[in-house]
Chain A
Amino acid sequence: MFESTSHEDRAGQATQRLHLMVCAGTGCVSNNSMKVKAALEEELAKHDLTREIKVVATGCNGFCGVGPLLLVQPDGILYQKLKPSQIPALVEEHLVKGRPVEKHMYHPPEGEQPVPLMNDIPFFKKQVLITLRNRGLIDPENIDDYIARDGYQALAKMLTQLTPEQVVEEVKASALRGRGGGGFPTGVKWETCRNAHSEDGAKYVICNADEGDPGAFMDRSIIEGNPHSVIEGMLIGAYAIGATRGYIYVRLEYPLALKRFQLALEQARAYGLLGEKILGTDFNLDIEVHRGAGAFVCGEATALMASIEGRVGEPRAKYVHTVERGLWNRPSCLNNVETWANVPLIIREGAKWFTKLGTGDVSENPWGGSKGTKVFSLAGKVNNTGLVEVPMGITLREIIYDIGGGIQDGKKFKAVQTGGPSGGCLPERLLDVDILDLEVDFDTLVKAGSMMGSGGMVVMAEDDCMIDVARYFIEFLMGESCGKCTPCREGLRNMAKILKRICDGEGRESDIELLEELGHAMMDGSLCGLGTSAPNPVISTIRYFRDEFEAHIRDKKCPAGVCRELVEYSIDSDRCNGCTLCAQACPARAIVGEQKQVHAVEQTHCTKCGACYDACNFHAVIRN
């Protein structure tokens, strides 16, 4: 249970001079951040500092590439990559003696001075936190922290000042667009749902927390770090459309998110913020958490609702929309976690405030631009990987180079993949425009041949093979397809077969045309969004990286050196000094050579694992 809120305790807390915010998002937890926390508490007890210094476990901080993270407040100093063994010295130096420890601070890759303050670190500097506004600053398992930062004020304002119709108008005016991938104007969805007819008056609000895109964890961060923002959003939405019950569908693989939601709901109920007579008014809503069972396809609205109903998670044709007939055939408003998390601020600060951030002109039409921010999970060959929230309209260059810290190891930027398995790969140059100058929003990404999706952003460098990337996504989707309709099930199966063939060096001349033909049939013929968007990675890589396809098919070569069957490792005799490191690393004993003599690779034994390439310090191993 959350801490009691008696006056004495609160006063007691007031005299704590330091709060140590330890990141307890899943990423850092799996890297032993809880052990770091325990070590901190132990050391503080040893030095008798527990009265004045408090340790707080927070949700994901976002800078996942350098966890476990510790933020010392109110100083604002961020420590990275902490190990429990380093804690005693850290406590002694910084907390007892007051001297911040440089070696644990963030060091930019160019080897400059360490950056002590979190808000000065480039990764954080350009971010604008709206949905992630509380990240790293609150204990997500304590509703009081949320309330202290104006939590549930939007709910209070709405219940005392706004009618449901006014709430709908406000959300429409904000031009908030769905953050799950569709980009549909949320206010319009709410209005349609509000006006939809229900036989017995029952209507539902649903939160889609199924987040199935591989590598995506935007929603997970929001839930683990700030679950009440979603609950408050759903309360506002339910009031607006007249819903009687809410459901949160959390994917099976998010046990911590599930736990934090359930705890948050309990605490909200205890405070009368959920359930009957909310905040003493006539508004009732309760929310139930429903767990998924390991199916990506259940992120699709109709499949999700089928799953909640207890039926098999298979989509149905959406010729009648779910806002009219959804869960149990009643009007249902399904929104993504991030969408819900934006809602309280829109109501509290006003639609106009929200429209200040972002692109386009929405004064006449909510489709006219993309307002607000978007959370991206930045991954791939960048220096700073993690979760970033940036205003719509920021350029790819800023995201990749300023926030992301540029390409690792000084490699060359090749492409950026957005939107997860439904999205496309964008090359460096696109129709005479530098892709890095693209101002990111819903429509620009679609125009370029990709999509926003749920916010996945994978940066690729010269050593990424685009065919391999396409094949990865197709194989993922093949495993997740529900199998009901022929174009998706068989189409993905056949696409995977063809791509594997190409990667194995058995590609045929006609394969590229066949993939395109197959892709267009799938886009037109599939029953649900999984199938219709599945060909995107393949179609976009064919469009922009056709030469790589041709290299694989005609020349039987993988220019990036990834596809094992097409890669050959050899040793440059000019550079090899016989240090034997490669031979030692080779698991197949395929490298021969005496010490101090030039080594050579026995091609017949070589398994193309690349261990020698990584082991050599003299760049003598050539990967071709």
Chain B
Amino acid sequence: MVTIEIDGQSVQLEDGEPILRGAEKLGIRIPTLCSHPWLEPSGACRVCSVEIIRRGKSRIVTACNYPASDGLVVKTASESALAVRRMVLEMQLARCSHVPVIQELAREYGIEKSRFGEGTETCILCGLCVRVCEELVQANALCFAERGTERFVSTPFGVEADENSCIACGACVSVCPTDHVSLEDHAQRPGEPQDFYLGPKTAINLPFQQAVPKVPWIDPVACIKLQTGGCGVCAQVCEPGAIDYEQQDEEFEVEVGQILVTTGYQPFETKAMAQYGYGRLDNVITALEFEHMLNSTGPTGGKVVCKGGETPRAIGIVHCVGSRDENQHRYCSRVCCMYALKFAHLVAERTDAEVYQFYIDMRAYGKGYEEFYSRVLQEGTTVIRGKVAEVVPALGNGSREGHMVIRCEDTLVGKFREIPVDMLVLCNALEPHQDSGNVANIFSLSRSPDGFFLERHPKLDPVGTMTDGVYIAGTCQSPKDIPDTVAQAQAAAARILALIGKGEVLIDPVRAAVNEQNCSGCRMCNALCPYQAITFNEEDSVSEVNQTLCKGCGTCVAACPAGAIAGSGFTDDQILTELEAILV
């Protein structure tokens, strides 16, 4: 450690540390333009020029990179230092006369107007964007081009940034002091809602405001640190030091008596129905994405906006996308009609847009639903009974009436109609998760033909399954809305608690049991049991029947090649004895 003196005050620094750090420690302000805590000092702007006295000689140096040494004397506001600072600011002002950060700094030093003229440059050539991209992000997508007075920030060789260089992390935008650098969509992929920023903007993000627990997570695919080793800015900025890049997934084994499966649904992939233009046209979005936009914690703060930022003049809402469809799912997704009406209601609240609903039937089955439907009709939503044939971009520049045109059938008036809208919302179906088959196997669940998990009885037991102790609730069983989900979940919970409360389970006496002496350990029965009631005991090398799960179907009894399994009450002897008793 060495001791230096700044403006008469002493401060200790590491040997060789920039004297700017010393000023920061003492609370003495030295202005900078090209210095940044995340980056190595550059010494380019010269605004931080100060006077030092070393070995009796006075000199002007830049505080951001001049190394501290014992006994150094620094004067931050001496005449010669201020002369340099003022001249630098005056010259910057001549070049970038309308840049706020320059204007403010110049004003601080008494310069309102530059003697060197005026200029309209917005880049102050501080180099922060270039350095952050090079040092921190390590993408090397920005550089300085040309020399001297022709110098400007560019991409290498002036080639347009593409995925091979710029990774669109936005670090350059965040360090630029003048808004000269901005992110722009160059990929020109129309229709992708990600470009709408309906998803997270950064690799580390809070999924939504109501997340539990409410902490950010890092998307390992998008995170530059985890992908390339560069950046790491979030950990540098986090004061409590809560960011740990080393975290891995952990697996736990827990022994339980009952399982409630509530794995939910997945939204239907609307790209499969190309006629609706999702992914092909701008401003065609799914219901969930629209829901996100309407949410006040969403990307637009609850405002209804098209991709270009303007308010839509007309919005179309298409029901039954993927539902009630011979080519997709034949079932009805149950919730769409009501939320479509909700959308219409909210749009009417927030904008002057026309709303068109394209429906087959309006299913307003629940408590207060039909009343809500009438109200929304009164608010002015236009309902058209008929399927949408296709969505096409509007002719011309589409600005007169709508960005796209919906071509549909209006069965009530018996005509084909073309309706111009600015935005299209697709009520896509609720369908079972792609991997529901695997989940079903794990928990010994059956599935109904539509792919949802099968309840024990459609009327009398909507939460139980064929396997004792395993229950289902929510949309994994069938599409339903929130009240119904809550009801089902409470029912399942009650069933579970009832058993736990009882402490003991009443089971059927018809069971299978393994005669350990005869069991050869072939394990054929393990795979055959439909209720997965047979496990293999590694230690004793024999199979064991879980008496609680066994339903007494007898499959294992028949299959066992050693005859080692017997159904209780149904041993060979017992059956033969019964037969004897009947016949004799």
Binding site for B on A (CB under 8 A): 295, 297, 312, 316-317, 319-320, 478-487, 489-494, 497, 510, 514, 517-518, 520-522, 524-527
Contacts and interface: CB of A to CB of B under 8 A. Distances in A.
A522 B49 CA distance: 12
B147 interface: yes
Contact of A490 (B42, B47, B95): B95
Interface of B: 42-47, 49, 60-62, 65-67, 80, 83-84, 86-88, 91-92, 94-95, 115-116, 125, 127, 144, 146-151
Contact of A486 (B61, B88, B147, B148): B88
A317 B62 contact: yes
Contacts of A486: 44-47, 88, 91-92, 125
Given A483-B146, A527-B62, 20 more contacts: A312-B144, A480-B148, A481-B147, A481-B148, A483-B144, A484-B44, A484-B127, A485-B45, A486-B88, A486-B91, A487-B88, A489-B148, A489-B149, A490-B94, A490-B116, A493-B149, A520-B83, A524-B49, A527-B43, A527-B44
B477 to A, nearest CB: 64
Given A480-B148, A489-B148, A527 B46 contact: yes
B60 A483 contact: no
Given A312-B144, A479-B148, A486-B46, A494 B88 contact: no
A492 B151 CA distance: 14
A187 B146 CA distance: 38
A487 B149 contact: no
B148 A517 contact: no
Contacts of A317: 43, 61-62, 65-66
A456 to B, nearest CB: 21
B67 A319 contact: yes
B150 A483 contact: yes
Contacts of A521: 83-84, 86-88
A479 B83 CA distance: 25
Contacts of A527: 43-44, 46, 62
A483 B45 contact: no
28 contacts: A295-B147, A297-B147, A317-B62, A319-B67, A479-B147, A481-B147, A482-B148, A483-B125, A483-B147, A484-B127, A485-B46, A486-B45, A486-B46, A486-B91, A486-B92, A487-B91, A489-B148, A490-B149, A491-B87, A492-B149, A494-B94, A497-B116, A517-B83, A521-B87, A524-B84, A525-B46, A525-B60, A525-B88
A485 B91 contact: no
Nearest to A523: B60
Contacts of B149: 478, 481, 483, 489-490, 492-493
Contact of A319 (B44, B65, B147, B148): B65
B124 to A, nearest CB: 9
Contacts of B88: 486-487, 490, 521, 525
B553 to A, nearest CB: 76
A292 to B, nearest CB: 13
Nearest to A320: B67
3 residue pairs, one from A and one from B, having the closest CB atoms: A521-B87, A483-B151, A490-B91
Contacts of A525: 46, 49, 60, 84, 87-88
Interface centre among A478, A484, A510 (most CB of B within 10 A): A484
Contacts of B148: 478-483, 489, 492
A497 to B, nearest CB: 8
Given A487-B84, A489-B148, A527-B46, A319 B91 contact: no
A483 B130 CA distance: 15
Contacts of A526: 46
Nearest to B43: A317
A225 B87 CA distance: 47
B116 to A, nearest CB: 5
Nearest to B87: A521
A497 B119 CA distance: 14
A522 B88 CA distance: 9
Contacts of A295: 147
A527 B147 CA distance: 15
A526 B59 CA distance: 12
A489 B44 CA distance: 11
A493 B87 CA distance: 13
Nearest to A522: B87
B120 to A, nearest CB: 15
Contacts of A489: 125, 148-149, 151
A391 to B, nearest CB: 32
A490 B80 CA distance: 19
Nearest to A525: B84
B145 to A, nearest CB: 10
B147 A482 contact: yes
Nearest to B41: A317
A493 B116 CA distance: 10
Contacts of B66: 317, 319
B91 A524 contact: no
Contacts of B61: 317, 319
Given A490-B94, A493-B149, A485 B84 contact: no
A478 B150 CA distance: 10
Contacts of A492: 148-149
Contacts of A490: 88, 91-92, 94-95, 116, 149
B46 A487 contact: yes
A531 to B, nearest CB: 9
Contact of A524 (B80, B125, B146): B80
Given A319-B65, A479-B148, A524-B80, A491 B91 contact: yes
Contacts of A312: 144
B43 A316 contact: yes
B279 to A, nearest CB: 43
A500 to B, nearest CB: 13
Interface centre among B42, B46, B146, B151 (most CB of A within 10 A): B46
Given A295-B147, A317-B62, A487 B44 contact: no
A362 to B, nearest CB: 22
Contacts of B83: 517, 520-521, 524
A480 B65 CA distance: 25
Interface centre among A316, A480, A490 (most CB of B within 10 A): A490
Nearest to A295: B147
A183 B125 CA distance: 34
Contact of A487 (B65, B87, B115, B127): B87
Interface centre among B42, B65, B95, B147 (most CB of A within 10 A): B147
Nearest to A317: B43
A487 B89 CA distance: 10
Contacts of B146: 483
Given A319-B67, A480-B148, A481-B147, A514 B45 contact: no
A517 B116 CA distance: 13
Given A493-B149, A518-B87, A525-B49, A485 B95 contact: no
A521 B44 CA distance: 15
A79 to B, nearest CB: 44
Contacts of B116: 490, 494, 497
A510 to B, nearest CB: 8
Nearest to B116: A494
Contacts of B43: 316-317, 485, 527
B87 to A, nearest CB: 4
A452 B46 CA distance: 28
A481 B147 CA distance: 7
A506 to B, nearest CB: 13
A492 B149 CA distance: 9
Nearest to A521: B87
Nearest to A518: B87
B32 to A, nearest CB: 12
A514 to B, nearest CB: 6
A216 B5 CA distance: 45
Nearest to A490: B91
B121 to A, nearest CB: 11
Contacts of B127: 484
Contacts of A320: 67
Contacts of A493: 149
